[in-house]
A and B are shown apart, each in its own frame.
Chain A
Amino acid sequence: MPAVTETWLVLGGGSTIGRAFAQRAAAAGAAVLLAGRDVAELERSAADLRLRHGVPATSVLFDALELEAHRGFARACATLAQGNGHRQLNLLLAFGIMPSQAECEADPLLARRMVETNVTGAASVLTALAPVLRGQGGGVVVALGSVAGERGRPRNHLYGATKAALAVFLQGYAARHARHGVRVLNLLAGPVDTALTWPLPRLPFIASPAAFAAQAWCQARRRSGQVHLPRIWAPVMAAIRAVPDRVFNRLDL
């Protein structure tokens, strides 16, 4: 396998999927920047990536809600990526929170924090990083969307709304930066066996983080736009989207 000459910046590097994707990228020879709030924790994961795969791996402080810090963060990442031998910087946006619908309805501040994290924070940091991607002549942006954003369901439409907003943002972001070589892929993810889904009752077609990351890595190398992961969710969501409202509204999904 030829060495991959890229640096992947994982935004939400402490998340289950962020960690799994970092492992997959490092296994292919990519350098990794793990960005998140808990730097001590990220440093443990970075040490693991260095030991297991012999690639450069660094932790970087990043808080989706600290909007004013995002530009400085983007510059710091550009510098770190250059330090790794001028490898192309690519992004995985893997942060987000998923409080339950009931919690959000009981606590509007929590609902606001979810919107600010999943939408405002995501849009802000991607905007801040756009000049870096354009400056290096392009790059790949992979974002963790969700099937929850495809049709609002009683049980998680606030969370779904944040992922729908992210999807529209990514469409425009892709169109705006495409001519500068930026390629965007929105992963419409079904449930993955992560820390977020751990307390939930058993979910259908649940994917292991490693399997999900392997598929995401494959898709990221060749596709842009949107893709369902695991792939089974493409037909499942096609069916769910096709259900007429009067039937859908009687289902307790």
Chain B
Amino acid sequence: MNLVLPRLNLHAASDVAWRSVALRGWGRLGSAPCQAARPERLREVADAVTSINGRNIIAHGAGRSYGDAALNGGGAAVLTARLDRMLGFDAATGVLVAEPGVTFADVIRVFLPQGFLPPTPPGTAFATLGGAVANDVHGKNQHVAGCLGDHVAWLDLLLADGSTRRLSPTQDAPAFHATIGGIGLTGIITAMALRLLRVPSNAMRVRRRRVGGLDEYLDAFRAARGATWSVGWVDALAGGAALGRGVLETAEHAAESVAIPAAGTRSMPFDVPGLLLNPLSIRAFNAAYWRRVPARGEERTVHANRFLFPLDGIGGWNRLYGARGFHQFQCVLPEAEAPRGLRRLLEEVGRAGAASFLAVLKWMGRPGLGMLSFAQPGFTLALDMPARPDSRALLLRLERITRDHGGRLYLAKDSALSPQGMAEMYPRLEAFQQVRARLDPRGRFSSDMSRRLGLG
């Protein structure tokens, strides 16, 4: 054991403990060395932010953003994982007050037995609430429930000067709307009040059916408008007439609860060697997955977690893509442009032979509240792509297609968007930067992503 003091001069008056760490995004594309503080008490967040001596800083939650949104190479990071306390709950209104490091899994463990779900659960329950607000995440109920920001009653934001401000739709609304989906660039969320979703049971009645091609898929989504939850898996390697085939899942809350599934999870113990991840093996997997669903469809009642977080049962599934990591591409296209735009995207990915198991299609019904919120009405497509030397060129082509069709990319997933693309896709960017300049005049909050996108 080595009990020497850390060799760095970040701290001045305060006794903030810093440590050199190498943070990674969920896509594991590379690591960003930085100095990190891991506060366990509220006061220590302000101490950390005010003791960085001119460096810039970003909050980092569970590390579930895929790209570089929560990385800050050469700078400082505040890890929020240990600020994980639930502070209050009003069963009459369903409003939960919580610290930013509380995860969706925590909320579900405590409140699903009492008949509440997080309002818009993202694809993983391991994300933190703070990170989820900063990315204005959505769930499989986006078309009816909107995004997480729509359910935030207020939030406390720690500013660069160490002061904390309570923000809500009626208290400094511009700052509130800049912070919802603001990828941490306005400050650090230290608490929030979140309206939970009342549900009749812990179970969902899930319908799954095969869809033969893209146009049929879009029609099927529109027909499923009335479903409370809907999401589609796409075989991104199927081409020709089968382009865009997949499995559509819709779900309703069941009246009766089911037994809670055993807690045991399998996990990926190693990085999968690249050789195993070739277009042939993935094609075979996808075809088998598609055929597993009976042609007439199937209906099952499962625990909500099984439907909402299918990948959480496999710990560290991101290692599936090998040591080089993977990119995730997620865009949303306006409804009118979706048929042509999605076809072009899938064809481009097919030509490159780059896609893999996890392609997801979803119909979105409402725009997000935040200035940089991703959601807008239309169709969203998400694709995983193992990192290859030609990945960035492909991602640029996909960005081009997305721009041609008036769509935008999801910053929570992004690792490659260009500054020009950012400005074009996010029309409220200028307003966002104005709020940022007011809240953080010295530009202390900054990340690898914000610098890549030319936001400072």
Contacts and interface: CB of A to CB of B under 8 A. Distances in A.
Contacts of A1: none
B348 to A, nearest CB: 44
A165 B87 CA distance: 38
Among B2, B6, B86, B99: residue with most chain A CB under 10 A: B2
A38 interface: yes
A247 B195 CA distance: 63
Nearest to B2: A201
Interface string A43-78: 011011001100000000000000000000000000
Interface stretch (B40-48, B161-169, B244-252): B40-48
B88 A100 contact: no
A195 B48 CA distance: 13
Interface in B28-68: 38, 40-43
A41 interface: yes
Contact of B41 (A41, A100, A103, A203): A41
**Chain B: number of interface residues, binned into ranges:** 20 to 34
Chain B interface, >50% SS class = loop
A148 to B, nearest CB: 8
A84 B38 CA distance: 34
B85 interface: yes
A14 interface: yes
Interface in B92-137: 99, 106, 109-110
B1 A52 contact: no
A244 interface: no
A198 B3 contact: no
A41 B42 contact: yes
B86 A52 contact: yes
B60 to A, nearest CB: 14
B309 interface: no
Contact of A195 (B40, B42, B43, B86): B40
A199 interface: yes
Given A44-B87, A199-B18, A199-B19, A102 B40 contact: no
A90 interface: no
Contact of A102 (B4, B6, B85, B88): B4
A155 interface: yes
B5 A155 contact: no
B426 interface: no
A203 B4 CA distance: 12
Contacts of A156: 1, 3
A200 B3 contact: yes
Nearest to B87: A47
Given A44-B42, A195-B40, A155 B87 contact: no
Nearest to B111: A51
A16 interface: yes
Given A51-B89, A198-B17, A14 B41 contact: yes
A19 interface: yes
B21 to A, nearest CB: 10
Given A47-B88, A195-B40, A200 B2 contact: yes
Contact of B86 (A14, A51, A100, A203): A51
Given A51-B89, A198-B19, A101 B42 contact: no
A200 B2 CA distance: 7
B85 A48 contact: yes
Contacts of A2: none
Interface string A1-26: 00000000000001010010000000
Among A44, A98, A159, A253: residue with most chain B CB under 10 A: A44
Contacts of A203: 1-2
Given A47-B85, A52-B110, A198-B19, A155 B3 contact: yes
Given A41-B41, A41-B42, A198-B38, A204 B87 contact: no
A191 interface: yes
Contacts of B4: 100, 102, 155, 200-201
A253 B1 contact: yes
A47 B86 contact: yes
A51 B5 contact: no
Contacts of A52: 86, 106, 109-110
Nearest to A190: B1
Contacts of A47: 85-88
Contacts of B106: 52
A201 B326 CA distance: 30
Contacts of B87: 44, 47-48, 51
Among A52, A191, A204: residue with most chain B CB under 10 A: A52
Contact of B6 (A45, A199, A204): A199
Interface of A: 14, 16, 19, 38, 41, 44-45, 47-48, 51-52, 98, 100-103, 148, 153, 155-156, 159, 191, 195, 198-201, 203-204, 253
9 contacts: A19-B40, A44-B42, A52-B86, A100-B5, A101-B3, A156-B1, A195-B82, A199-B6, A200-B1
Given A14-B41, A48-B86, A100-B5, 17 more contacts: A19-B40, A38-B43, A44-B42, A44-B87, A47-B88, A48-B85, A51-B87, A51-B88, A52-B106, A98-B3, A101-B3, A103-B5, A153-B1, A156-B3, A159-B3, A198-B17, A199-B17
Question: Which 4 A-B residue pairs are closest in the complex by CB-CB distance?
Answer: A48-B85, A199-B17, A51-B86, A199-B6
